[in-house]
Amino acid sequence: MTRSACAIFLVLWVRLSLASAVNDYQLIAKGKICEDSARINLPCGFCGPNWGDLQDCEEQCNAKQACSHITYFEDKGCRLYSSCNSPQQQVASVAPQKTQVGTDIYKRNNPKVVTRPDGPCDILASAGTPCVAAHSVVRALYAKYTGSLYRVLRDSDKSSLDIGVHLNGFARVSDQDAFCVKTSCYILRIYDQSEKGNHLDTAPPGGYCHRPMSPVNATKEQISIGGHTVYGAYFEGNMGYRNDKTSGVATGEGEETMYMVTRGDHVNGGCCFDYGNAETDNDDDGQGTMEALYFGTSKGWGHGQGDGPWVMADLENGLWAGDQRVAPAASMNFQYVTAMAKGKKGMMAIKAGNAQQDSLQTVYEGPRPHGYERMKKQGAIVLGIGGDNSYHGIGTFYEGAMTAGYSEDAYDQLIQTNIVAAGYGQSSVVVV
């Protein structure tokens, strides 16, 4: 390992260590106590319309140095405050107060601010290759991202709900479960966590399929990541997402890096389970008009060794695991797979690895295949379909990102380390 790579890993280890602080909460009083007028309130943040449950409040309090107490109201739920102005003897016992509902008061012992470790897009930004698209249905890809991950549509009344993240960075699936009880829900939009706003909505008609694509079932695939139950985006064919009017995505010979985490045993040979750069007119515009990640067992347009599945680059009218139609790339027979592709003028790279182990393999890095020497990328983003809306591919998408720039190998490995640390397939909570 080079000195610079060692330094990068040391920084990551320090950041992970700083995030390990855990606060203890002690119930100090119960009853009709600490009336509203006596509380010194802090911003509630993402406590929700009913202020949230106890876990929500603990997460919020952990993120604020000034937060010293939590109250739980029987009528409204949990709220943060920094202290109570009532005399101590009143806080410690039941006393007549203006508030007439039961209230539990918790004290935060040994307060330390708990922050999330850097996400993949923080790492890529530090490399000088910032994300221009960051999509995930399972977790935040930035340490400070607090927005929504995706939007679900409820079948019973066609209403929708945005699914956000807990302060631990994982999807608030309890909100989804409550919203979707006794009916089906579908993922209508996957939000872009980057500042570019490149959200993915269900794909409109295209050259191959002249009708809009269907959304995925929002609860079809449940997965535990680091002990947190979340849902993957489970594609079963005829499903796909697209954005034809993007901001910041590479065009022409522009440099880019993209990665995704996918399920290794939910694949087929149909075209095409892709994530990445595609045509803006939803049609096949010829060789070099795409640069997207593909994962599956297709042998019709190029392949690797064995029976697959393979991580390949979809460059339009060709799936490439190298610069030859039949490349020496190995099959990726893992439960969860990290897939990565990079492109710049005259060059491309493909990387792959087990998302549960730290090593990331360079499948290929070198000149582009014959006929693709000059790229004509158009800058749309597709997920689950080909550039012309080919819809026969199946697969599972958890997270992925696209950058402006061709990232260095050391940072590619840091992305893999971050993915492994998230704990794909682990049922116990990962403490970082």
Look at residue 310 and tell me if it is in a domain.
Answer: yes
Question: Which CATH number belongs to the domain containing residue 44 in this structure?
Answer: 3.50.4
Question: Are 255 and 277 within one domain?
Answer: yes
Question: Are 195 and 307 within one domain?
Answer: yes
Give me the sign of the Cα torsion angle 354, 358, 363, 368. positive
Q: Which domain holds residue 33?
A: 23-109
| Residue range 63-92: mean pLDDT, rounded | 70
What is the predicted pLDDT for the residue at 35? 63
β-partners of residue 70 are 80, 106
Look at residue 431 and tell me if it is in a domain.
Answer: no
Question: Are 244 and 300 within one domain?
Answer: yes
Give me the sign of the Cα torsion angle 411, 417, 419, 421. negative
* Interval 296-316: pLDDT, tens: 999 999 999 999 999 999 999
Residue 79 pLDDT exceeds 80 = no
| SS3 at position 20 | coil
Question: Are 417 and 306 within one domain?
Answer: yes
Helix count and strand count (H, E) for the chain: 6, 23
Catalytic choice (316, 358, 408, 412): 316
Question: Are 79 and 187 within one domain?
Answer: no
| SS3 at position 201 | strand
What is the predicted pLDDT for the residue at 70? 84
Question: Are 389 and 345 within one domain?
Answer: yes
Token representation of residue 56: 């929500």
CA gap 24, 372 in Å, rounded:
58
Percent of the chain with pLDDT over 70: 85
Last residue of a domain, one of 46, 78, 109: 109
Other beta carbons less than 10 A from residue 53's beta carbon:
14
Given a contact cutoff of 8 angstroms between Cβ atoms, the answer to whether 127 and 407 are in contact is yes
Look at residue 115 and tell me if it is in a domain.
Answer: no
CA gap 177, 209 in Å, rounded:
33
Q: Work out how many domains the chain is built from and give that number.
A: 2
Q: How confident is the model at residue 116 (pLDDT cuts 50, 70, 90)?
A: confident
Which range, of 41-50, 215-224, 362-371, averages the lowest pLDDT?
41-50
Look at residue 14 and tell me if it is in a domain.
Answer: no
Question: Which CATH number belongs to the domain containing residue 410 in this structure?
Answer: 2.60.120.200
- Nearest Cα neighbor of 277 from 131, 402, 128, 120 is 402
Question: Are 340 and 308 within one domain?
Answer: yes
The amino acid at 321: A
| Residue range 118-131: mean pLDDT, rounded | 97
- Nearest Cα neighbor of 187 from 145, 154, 146 is 154
Q: How confident is the model at residue 423 (pLDDT cuts 50, 70, 90)?
A: very high
* Interval 178-208: pLDDT, tens: 999 999 999 999 999 999 999 999 999 999 9
What is the predicted pLDDT for the residue at 103? 80
Look at residue 15 and tell me if it is in a domain.
Answer: no
Residue 134 pLDDT exceeds 90 = yes
Instruction: Look at the block and give the residue holding tokens 């730290």.
Output: 358
Residue 9 pLDDT exceeds 50 = no
Given a contact cutoff of 8 angstroms between Cβ atoms, the answer to whether 84 and 39 are in contact is yes
CA gap 49, 255 in Å, rounded:
43
Question: Are 133 and 69 within one domain?
Answer: no
Residue 429 pLDDT exceeds 70 = no
Last residue of a domain, one of 52, 74, 109: 109
Question: Are 308 and 173 within one domain?
Answer: yes
What is the predicted pLDDT for the residue at 156? 96
Catalytic choice (118, 291, 314, 388): 388
| SS3 at position 303 | strand
Given a contact cutoff of 8 angstroms between Cβ atoms, the answer to whether 335 and 266 are in contact is no
| Residue range 87-104: mean pLDDT, rounded | 53
Question: Are 253 and 335 within one domain?
Answer: yes
Question: Are 295 and 260 within one domain?
Answer: yes
Token representation of residue 107: 């004290």
Active-site residue, 388 included: yes
What is the predicted pLDDT for the residue at 14? 32
Other beta carbons less than 10 A from residue 182's beta carbon:
5
What is the predicted pLDDT for the residue at 19? 34
* Interval 137-184: pLDDT, tens: 999 999 999 899 999 999 999 999 999 998 889 999 999 999 999 999
Token representation of residue 160: 């929708």
Look at residue 430 and tell me if it is in a domain.
Answer: no
Question: Are 272 and 146 within one domain?
Answer: yes
Higher pLDDT, 12 or 175: 175
What is the predicted pLDDT for the residue at 62? 83
Last residue of a domain, one of 45, 77, 109: 109
The mean predicted confidence, pLDDT, of the chain is 88
| Residue range 392-418: mean pLDDT, rounded | 98
Strand stretches in 42-96, DSSP E: 69-73, 77-84
Look at residue 99 and tell me if it is in a domain.
Answer: yes
Look at residue 36 and tell me if it is in a domain.
Answer: yes
| Residue range 229-252: mean pLDDT, rounded | 98
